[in-house]
Structure 1
Amino acid sequence: MDKIGIILLNYNAYEDTKECIESLKAMTYPNYEIFVVDNDSQDDSADRLKQIKDIHFIESGRNGGFGYGNNIGIKAAIKLGCQKILLLNNDTTVEPDFLAILNQDLEDSRIGMIAPKILNYYDHNKIWALGGEINWPLFVAYNSLCDQEDHHQVIKKKVDFISGCCMLIRSEIFEEIGYLPEDYFMYFEDLDFCLQVSNKYELWVDSQAVIYHKVSAASGENSPFQLEWVNRSQFKFMKRYGPQRPKYTQYRCQLYFRKWIRIASYLMKFDYSRAHAIYKGIKKSSK
C-alpha cells in the first residue's frame, strides 16, 4: 500500500486547517502522512498548529505563495518516502473514503493526476468542481459543472484541468517534470502544472470521491486582492503559453479589451479599488 503525503498550506487560517486535519484523520485509507506548511502566518496560527499531534509541521520562512509553500511540503514528503502526493486546500473537509477511491484510480499507469468531486462546503447540493476545461481564447481554465446541482451521477473521465484545491499526483512526476511553478504567487500555477503533466500523462476525475471546499474562504470572492492576483497571473500565463497558440494576437487583443471594459464598469460604479486592482494586476504581470 503506497504511502501518501498530504500537503496543507496554511496562512492565517488555524481553524480551517485544524478542521481539515480532523476530517483527514477520519479517513479509511491508513497509510498517509500530513505535512502542514505555514506560509509565514502573521497571526498565532503557527504556534497553535505546532500543538497538533501526528502531523509534520514546517515553517516556510516567508510567504512565497501557493507554489512555493506546496513545493516545500512536496519535497519533505518525497524525502520521507511518499509514493503519491495529495495537494489539498486547507479550507476543505473530506469524505472518509475519498482518498482510498482516488488511490485505486491512480493504479492506472496512464493517469498521472486525479481529482475528486468538489462540493460547496456551505451547500452540499452544489458542485464547485468536477475537473475542468481550458478556454484558450481567454487563457483561463474553468471548473466543470461549477454551481450546478449535484445529481450524484457516477462520472469518471479524462479532463483538461484539475484545480489545485485537490489533486492526487504520482511522486515520480515531480522528478520527471519538476515542481509547481512559483512565479505566479497564487492562481494559475495549477493550470500551468496541469499542462506540463498532460504532456506525458492523462488527468482524470472521479465523482465517487468527494470533498467539500469553503469557496473563496482564502481570498474573498471578487475582492480587490483576488482581482489583482487573478489578472496578474492570467496575463503571465497568456504571455508564457499564448505565442504558441493559433490566433494569439487576436485573442490577446480581445482579452485586453475585455479587461478595459470591466475596469470601465467598475469606474462607472465608483468602485475605484476594484478597477485599480485589475489595472495593477495587468501592469505587474510581466514581473
Structure 2
Amino acid sequence: MKTTCISIINYNGNSDTYSCISSIMGDEIFKESTIFILDNHSDFEYVCRLEDYIQDLSDVRQYIGTCEDMLRLTGDYDIVLIKSNQNLGFARGNNFILDLSVTLGYEYSVLINNDTSYEGSSIGTVIHFLDSHLEIGAATLGIEYYWNRGTIWNAGGKIFFGYKKYFSTRYIQNKRKKGFNYIDTQFMSGCFIAVRNKIIEKYGYLSERFFFGEEDYEFSYRMKKNGVKCVSVISETIYHKVNQSMKKIDNLQGRILVYDLNKLIDMKYSMGKVKFAFFRLSYKCIIYLRFLRKGKLSDGYRHIRRLRDLMRNHTCVDANLTFRLWNEGKE
C-alpha cells in the first residue's frame, strides 16, 4: 500500500501542472505515492489535453474519472485524474482529495500548488522527516520564487493577533548557514503542506468557508490553537510561479475586496467577540493607510463601507460571492 497522497488542483493551467507532475515523478517518494489531480472544470480543450498527457505517461498505473467515479475507486494507482463538473475552488477541491486519502488509508497527504516545480526529492525528504519525528503533525518547506531563485517567497512564519509575519530570506539563509534543517513554524502556505492524515481526522479538513484564499491561514491557526507542532523543513526547496492563479483575475479591486473579506470573516469566526472587535479596528486602520499611501482616502472609506455591508449579509465567501466581487466594476 502506498503511504502518501499528493493533491494537485488544476484550472486551465496544464503546462504548469505537467511540470509539477514531472517533478514529483522524479522524486524518490513517487514509488510510495499516488498523485491525485483534480481538474476544477477547466475549459474542455484543457481537460482533453490533460487526459491525453496522463494517458501517454509510460509505466504509470492511472485512473481517470469523474468525482462520482472516485466513490468506486480501488487499487493502488500512481496517478489519478479527477474531472469535476464544477469549479470547487481550492479548499473544497483539495478536501475532496483529502477525503479520498483518509478513506483509502494513506498515512500522509501533501497539498502542492500546480505552479510549482523542483529538482531532487524535496517531498520525499519531508515525508521521511515526518516518519522520523512522530511529535510533528505537519510541515512545509522553503518555497522560493521560480523566476528569482534563492529568494524566499514563503518558508512559514509566526501568527499573532490575526496577522502573520513571514520568515525572511535573510532569516532562512542564516538558519541554513548555522546547520538548521528545520525550524518551528506557526504558518504554512497552502502552496505546500504535508500533514499526517490522523491530524486531519482529528482536527478537520481545510475550511470551505472560503472559495479562494485564507484557508491556509485558518488551517494553520487551527493547528496552533490545538497544539499541533508544525515545522518548516528549510533544507528542502521548491520553486513557485507566484500569482499564476491571480493573473487570471484582471480586476485588482475585486481581488483586494475578496482578500479583505476573507480575512475579516475568518477572524470573526475564529476569535471571540472582544478580540475580534480590536482586530477589526486594527485592520480598518491598515486599510486606510493602504489607500492613504495612494492618495485615495475617500476610496478607502468606500472600501471599508462595502466590507461592512458584505459582512452583515454573509457568513462565508463562497464561489458565487467570490466571482461576483471579482467581476464587480468591470466593463
Q: What is the TM-score with the length of structure 1 in the denominator?
A: 0.86
Hey, what does 1:35 align to over in structure 2? 36
Hey, what does 2:135 align to over in structure 1? 110
Partner amino acid for 2:239? Answer: Y
Q: What does 1:1-287 align with in structure 2 at a 5 Å threshold? A: 3-29=3-29, 30-42=31-43, 44-51=45-52, 52=54, 53=57, 54=60, 55-107=79-131, 108-136=133-161, 139-145=162-168, 150=173, 152-153=176-177, 154-155=179-180, 156-198=182-224, 199-220=226-247, 223-243=252-272, 246=275, 248-263=276-291, 266=294, 268=296, 283-285=309-311, 286-287=314-315
Deviation (angstroms), 1:200: 4.1
CA-to-aligned-CA distance 1:36-77 (integer Å, 9 cap, x gap): 011122363222211214421112332232110101111223
Count of aligned residue pairs for this structure pair:
282
Structure 1: gaps (5+ residues) = none
Q: What is the TM-score with the length of structure 2 in the denominator?
A: 0.76
SS at match of 1:239: helix
SS at match of 1:56: strand
Q: CA RMSD for the aligned pairs?
A: 2.9
Aligned 8 A contact 2:264 2:280 in 1: no
Provide the C-alpha distance between the structure 2 equivalents of 1:147 and 1:16, rounded to a whole number of angstroms: 28
Q: Which stretch shifts more, 76-85 or 28-37?
A: 76-85
CA-to-aligned-CA distance 1:181-228 (integer Å, 9 cap, x gap): 111112211111122223142011111111111111111499334312
Deviation (angstroms), 1:149: 8.3
SS at match of 1:284: helix
Aligned 8 A contact 2:26 2:121 in 1: no
Which structure: larger Rg? 2
SS at match of 1:50: helix
SS at match of 2:246: coil
Deviation (angstroms), 1:13: 0.8
Structure 2: gaps (5+ residues) = 61-78, 316-331
Specify which structure has the higher proportion of helix.
Answer: 2
**Cα distance change on mapping 1:207 and 1:279 into 2, 3 Å:** farther
Deviation (angstroms), 1:233: 0.8
